[in-house]
Amino acid sequence: MRQLTEAQKNRIEEILSRMTLEEKIGQMNQESPSIVGGFDVPFSELIEMLTDGRLSKEEFGKIMSTSQQDYHEDDIRAGRVGSLMVQDPAKVNELQKIAVEESRLGIPLIFGLDVIHGFKTVFPIAIAEAGTFDPDLMRKTARMAARESKAAGVSWHFAPMLDIARDARWGRVSEGPGEDPCLASAFATAKVTGLQEGESPDDPYVAACLKHYIGYGACESGRDYNTVNMAMHVFYNHYLKPFKAAVDAGAQTVMAAFNDLNGIPCTVNKFLLRDILKEKLGLPGFVVSDANAIRECINHGIATDDFDAGVQAALAGMDMDMGTGIYKNQLQKAVEEGKVPMEVIDEAARRILSVKMWLGLFDHPYVDEASMHQYDVLPQEHLDLALEAAERSIVLLKNEGDILPLAPSAKISVIGSLADQPEEVVGAWALSWRKEDCVSLWSGIQKEFANAKYFPCGGPEGGLNEEEITEAAAYGDVIVAVLGETIAMSGEASSRADITLPGKQRQILEKLLESGKPVVLVLMNGRPLALEWEDAHVPAIVEAWHLGIRMGDAVARVLCGKKNPEGRLSSSFPAMTGQCPVYYNHPNTGRPASKSKFTSRYLDAPLDSLYPFGYGLSYTSFDFSNLNVRDQGDVLMIGVEVKNTGERAGTTTAQLYTQDVAASLVRPVKELKRFAKVTLEAGEIMRVYFELPKNELGFFDNEGNYRLEEGLFRIYVGQNSRECLMAEIWEK
Ligand code: BGC
């Protein structure tokens, strides 16, 4: 793990000793290019006016033609900017030159960006990639994103997003690794390592920014930015875990979440920022607010005005202000009036300088503008990794009568407007891709199937074209229906109160099924959907998420059987929206759901999720048997026999869960502890072993103390969180 040397630490102190208060505060200020032009209201209001109809598209276009970007050059020159969001290498150098050569102390800027699942090479959205259960793959995709963005001068990624999310109504489930803390922690470690550690000394690296700290994924009723109330044992055992894993892996920075946690916005939450993150976990670098979040503390009803919000944030340990200018405009006065001690400013500036030093920006502030040209055409290695990540993220949800894979000669009707939109493959929060690199499903399918024909028929936003549906039903021996959500339907500010297929897509399916032809539903979406109806009526369902630039190729290769699906669900899928939040690792109740009336259930919904966490089928089948637990003192050695019982090679994911049967706090009915990918030839048998230190059987109480309690534990091993073998042990 790369760490600052003593000489670098001394150099930071030396720079600090020469900085004025204003320059220190300048480091704490992050700007993004603001749009200025022939309009006298702020740009954000202009957007609102466009959205609520006060401005027509034409009027908006006319105003925008007068606009230009303000990069805050004067503030940079005056040492009043520490960071900027820019991704053009020439612009990076131009602004960096002002900071380095024209500001008094020549402190370089740090350029940050949302590089969530790839830069030029876009990989699957995180919820999908987590479903590969393969940390090494997750590390490799992060590594590639780091190399590409670094060539553009971006050395700080606002990623990985580590929000545990249990409510699929929340649009941002797409950006994170799902509902489970163990899988999310593996994802966290892999991503931080991939971003921050090169494979050789001159391999480019960037600083990670873990977000959104914390509890954002637990926003009430899945509505974005909403309030969060959470028992502290849930906080420690579930939501904090991936952040801890990431800091342990060396993560340099953290972004605080928009929401409040138990009444205090994360932005001004001293307990979260100082006590837990900086002191307990030992974050080496700095904390940045989310966009505009310091000012939003006024809306939260926690601060009276900008000054108050700025003071509270600084005192709580918020080192950098994203986008409000509050630190820039208010902190000097706050220090002069004694509201914010000088040590708070020193600490923030020191932390920010330390990350810049860690990145080597003091010695190498500029980017080689030519180096981005190596990605003008994406190298084969990048295309290959994008394909591998995409195919391995695909989850086969249903395959009745082994409809899949389809013969390459099959006559196929491909339907759905999403199938022919290359730009829809990249998913939410992809900012730097090119359309010509994106492979749509229709174009991928044409490469594998000679007799495929495309009929749009309708899609998530549109209606339904009866004529095309009739034609599609008449042409194909099998219909591949590509349905789901557009990119805009998940991601930030994209919560949905009904997570069934949007628009008239179900009617499209109904009509296709009426034809009697077999239908394969390929889903493109950014969240778990409520698929009770589809599961009951459609014989084959493939969950293909938003898989990145090679999506079309990946899906086609799964449909024709060149790739045997191996992806798993990193989040449970409800049968109906009303079941949300639904997650496998819930505590038990006094009346666990059963068919009897007075149990914890709905009258009008199934007892459990439709597809559980960890679930996913293959074109072959696997059998798990002979679970055995050996006590080896401090460690449990858990073995299970896995057999490929089908007729082709395939990969399954063996999952080890535990349950603390009686403890001093309610514990999850199951919690994932280990997992292993197992690839077997047809008929092959392998014994898989897991080593589980007994001290991992403990948990955190409400005060954050780790407890290891004696009693009965259940050990489960299986192919998903529902279907498992079970053994019991008594631990003292
Ligand atoms: C999002 C963050 C993102 C930031 C900067 C915010 O709206 O919540 O996830 O990093 O914008 O783009």
Q: How confident is the model at residue 715 (pLDDT cuts 50, 70, 90)?
A: very high
What pLDDT is stored for residue 52 in this prediction?
Answer: 83
State yes or no: pLDDT of 247 exceeds 90.
Answer: yes
Upper half-sphere CA count for residue 100 (Cβ side, 13 Å)? 16
Mean pLDDT of 463-467: 95
- The protein residue with its alpha carbon nearest to ligand 1, atom 11, reads 291
Give the H/E segment covering residue 415.
strand 412-415
What DSSP assignment string belongs to 682-721?
TT-EEEEEEEEEGGGG-EE-TTS-EE---EEEEEEEESSS
Sign of the C-alpha dihedral, residues 538, 544, 549, 550?
negative
* Model confidence pLDDT, tens digit, residues 415-460: 999 999 999 999 999 989 999 999 999 999 999 999 999 999 999 9
* From 28-37, 83-92, 693-702, the region with the lowest mean pLDDT: 28-37
What pLDDT is stored for residue 36 in this prediction?
Answer: 75
- The protein residue with its alpha carbon nearest to ligand 1, atom 4, reads 291
What pLDDT is stored for residue 670 in this prediction?
Answer: 98
* From 68-72, 238-242, 346-350, 475-479, the region with the lowest mean pLDDT: 68-72
Mean pLDDT of 78-101: 97
Q: With CA atoms as reference, report the closest residue to 208 among 185, 190, 182, 184.
A: 190
CB proximity list for 336: less than 8 A, separation 6 or greater: none
Find the catalytic residue in 163, 167, 180, 290.
290
Rounded CA gap, 646 and 684, in Å? 10
More confident residue, 67 or 445: 445
336 to 81, 313, 345: CA distances (angstroms): 20, 17, 12
Given ligand 1 and candidates 157, 170, 211, 226, which is best to mutate, with the most ligand atoms within 8 Å of its CB? 211
Given ligand 1 and candidates 83, 114, 116, 173, which is best to mutate, with the most ligand atoms within 8 Å of its CB? 114
The burial class, CB within 10 Å (0-12 / 13-18 / 19+), for 197 is: middle
**Catalytic residue status for 290:** yes
* Model confidence pLDDT, tens digit, residues 263-288: 999 999 999 999 999 999 999 999 99
Q: How confident is the model at residue 45 (pLDDT cuts 50, 70, 90)?
A: confident
Rounded CA gap, 680 and 558, in Å? 18
Q: With CA atoms as reference, report the closest residue to 376 among 120, 628, 684.
A: 120
Instruction: Tell me what percent of the residues of the chain surpass a pLDDT of 70.
Output: 100
Under DSSP, the state recorded for 393 is H
Q: How confident is the model at residue 38 (pLDDT cuts 50, 70, 90)?
A: low
| Ligand 1 contacts CB of residue 568 (under 6 A) | no
What pLDDT is stored for residue 47 in this prediction?
Answer: 79
State yes or no: pLDDT of 58 exceeds 90.
Answer: no
State yes or no: pLDDT of 351 exceeds 70.
Answer: yes
> Ligand 1, closest atom to CA 161?
9
727 to 308, 348, 631: CA distances (angstroms): 56, 51, 12
> Ligand 1, closest atom to CA 158?
10
What DSSP assignment string belongs to 53-101?
TSS-HHHHHHHHTT-EEE--HHHHHTT--SEE----HHHHHHHHHIIII
Edge-to-edge strand ranges of the sheet holding 724-731:
671-680, 650-660, 711-718, 724-731
Residues 413 and 469 sit within 8 Å (Cβ to Cβ) = no
Two tokens, residue 568: 């798993």
* Model confidence pLDDT, tens digit, residues 610-628: 999 999 999 999 999 999 9
Residues 422 and 435 sit within 8 Å (Cβ to Cβ) = yes
Rounded CA gap, 241 and 196, in Å? 20
State yes or no: pLDDT of 64 exceeds 90.
Answer: no
One-letter amino acid for residue 250 of the chain: G
Rounded CA gap, 473 and 465, in Å? 12
Mean pLDDT of 41-58: 80
What DSSP assignment string belongs to 194-245?
HHH--SSTTS---EEEEEEETTGGG-GGG-TT--B---HHHIIIIISHHHHH
* Model confidence pLDDT, tens digit, residues 358-398: 999 999 999 999 999 999 999 999 999 999 999 999 999 99
Sign of the C-alpha dihedral, residues 304, 305, 306, 308?
negative
> Ligand 1, closest atom to CA 492?
8
From the CB of residue 340, how many other CB atoms can be counted at a distance below 10 Å? 23
Q: What are the phi and psi torsion angles at 263 (to 5°)?
A: 105, -15
What pLDDT is stored for residue 474 in this prediction?
Answer: 97
Rounded CA gap, 687 and 479, in Å? 40
Q: Point out which residues pair with 631 in neighbouring strands.
A: 636
689 to 11, 93, 148, 678: CA distances (angstroms): 49, 52, 38, 11
* Model confidence pLDDT, tens digit, residues 503-533: 999 999 999 999 999 999 999 999 999 999 9
Two tokens, residue 570: 């990193």
State yes or no: pLDDT of 37 exceeds 80.
Answer: no
What pLDDT is stored for residue 319 in this prediction?
Answer: 98
Q: How far is the CA of 289 from the centre of ligand 1 (A)?
A: 9
* Model confidence pLDDT, tens digit, residues 286-340: 999 999 999 999 999 999 999 999 999 999 999 999 999 999 999 999 999 999 9
What pLDDT is stored for residue 48 in this prediction?
Answer: 81
39 to 36, 54, 62, 73, 74: CA distances (angstroms): 8, 14, 10, 21, 21
Upper half-sphere CA count for residue 545 (Cβ side, 13 Å)? 39
CB burial readout 583-615, b (16+ within 10 A) else e: bbbbeeeeeeeeeeeeeebeeebeebbbbbbbb
* Model confidence pLDDT, tens digit, residues 652-664: 999 999 999 999 9
Q: What are the phi and psi torsion angles at 254 (to 5°)?
A: -140, 145
State yes or no: pLDDT of 44 exceeds 80.
Answer: no
Q: How confident is the model at residue 95 (pLDDT cuts 50, 70, 90)?
A: very high
What pLDDT is stored for residue 61 in this prediction?
Answer: 83
Mean pLDDT of 222-245: 98
What pLDDT is stored for residue 33 in this prediction?
Answer: 87
| Ligand 1 contacts CB of residue 291 (under 6 A) | yes
Instruction: Tell me what percent of the residues of the chain surpass a pLDDT of 90.
Output: 94
